[in-house]
């Protein structure tokens, strides 16, 4: 079971339905990067409905505080759950085009204003999960490879020109967040075999063709091997 980070103030991960997740983020300007300690970035209010009911006021912070908040939230999630590779600014209520990633082995990066240089025509399918909808997985179709350009906090330009499949899908997920899109916007339904339909008939929401795209995490975990057979394998060369 995932341990969520709810009601932690600045580092609270916003959940599906929060308006901050629907906003198209704006680029950080060179002026902001030249003055990373100047408070000039607004964090949108957090509103968690009853029964937990939490409400915060808007917060004006510096770019550096935002970068730190993102990495703190990501590392908190990793410590609590044992996995997690990336988080996007809107997941903490910031409307800036910024992503924090941890690719393992101490490889942490802050990607500012990331943009695709190229993406492959070849695609694959996967069950996508997200800090902002931890109770469900969504079957999506992603590009298999690509190249991305971004600015680092020190103002230098970075380019990752040969993304492996796993990192490429991660960045597609996080960059969708910057455009106000959750995994549901990329749904790729699949026909469910009769045996799985029968086993989980009470939990599944099938369309008229007997297909599913959104899967409760508990259902996925109960028969992971069978559900993984309905998507493409991820192979990193």
Residues belonging to the active site: 174
Q: Per residue in 126-156, is it b (16+ CB within 10 Å) or e — as a string?
A: bbbbbbbbbebbbbbebbbbbebebbebeee
The structure tokens listed for 40 are: 């000039």
Spatial separation of the C-alpha atoms in residues 31 and 232, rounded to whole Å: 43
Q: Which residues on neighbouring strands pair with residue 110, listed in sequence order?
A: 100
By CB neighbour count within 10 A (0-12 exposed, 13-18 middle, 19+ buried), where does 104 fall? Answer: exposed
Count Cα atoms within 13 angstroms, Cβ side, for 27.
9
Q: In angstroms, rounded to a whole number, what is the distance separating the alpha carbons of residues 226 and 220?
A: 9
Say how far apart CA 233 and CA 45 lie, in whole Å: 39
**111: number of Cβ within 10 Å:** 25
Token digits of residue 86:
């990336």
Phi (first) and psi of residue 218, to 5 degrees: -60, -35
């Amino acid at each position: 079971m995932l341990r969520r980070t709810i009601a932690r103030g600045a580092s609270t991960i916003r959940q599906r339905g929060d308006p901050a997740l629907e906003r198209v983020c704006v680029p950080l300007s060179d002026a902001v990067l030249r003055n990373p300690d100047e408070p000039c970035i607004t964090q949108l209010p957090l509103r968690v409905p009853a029964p937990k009911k939490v409400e915060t006021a808007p917060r004006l912070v510096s770019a550096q505080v935002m970068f730190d908040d993102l990495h703190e939230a990501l590392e908190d999630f990793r410590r609590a759950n044992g996995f997690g590779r990336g988080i996007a600014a809107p997941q903490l209520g910031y409307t800036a085009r910024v992503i924090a990633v941890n690719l393992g082995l101490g490889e942490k990066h802050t990607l500012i204003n990331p943009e695709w240089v190229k993406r492959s025509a070849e695609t694959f399918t996967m069950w996508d999960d997200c800090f902002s909808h931890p109770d469900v997985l969504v079957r999506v179709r992603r590009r298999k490879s690509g190249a991305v350009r971004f600015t680092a906090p020190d103002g230098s330009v970075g380019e990752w020109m040969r993304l492996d499949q796993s990192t490429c899908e991660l960045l597609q997920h996080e960059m969708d967040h910057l455009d106000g899109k959750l995994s549901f916007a990329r749904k790729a339904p699949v026909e469910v075999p009769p045996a799985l339909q029968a086993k989980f008939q009470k939990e599944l929401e099938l369309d008229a063709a007997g297909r599913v795209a959104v899967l409760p995490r508990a259902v996925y975990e109960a028969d992971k091997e069978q559900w993984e057979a309905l998507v493409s394998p991820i192979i990193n060369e």
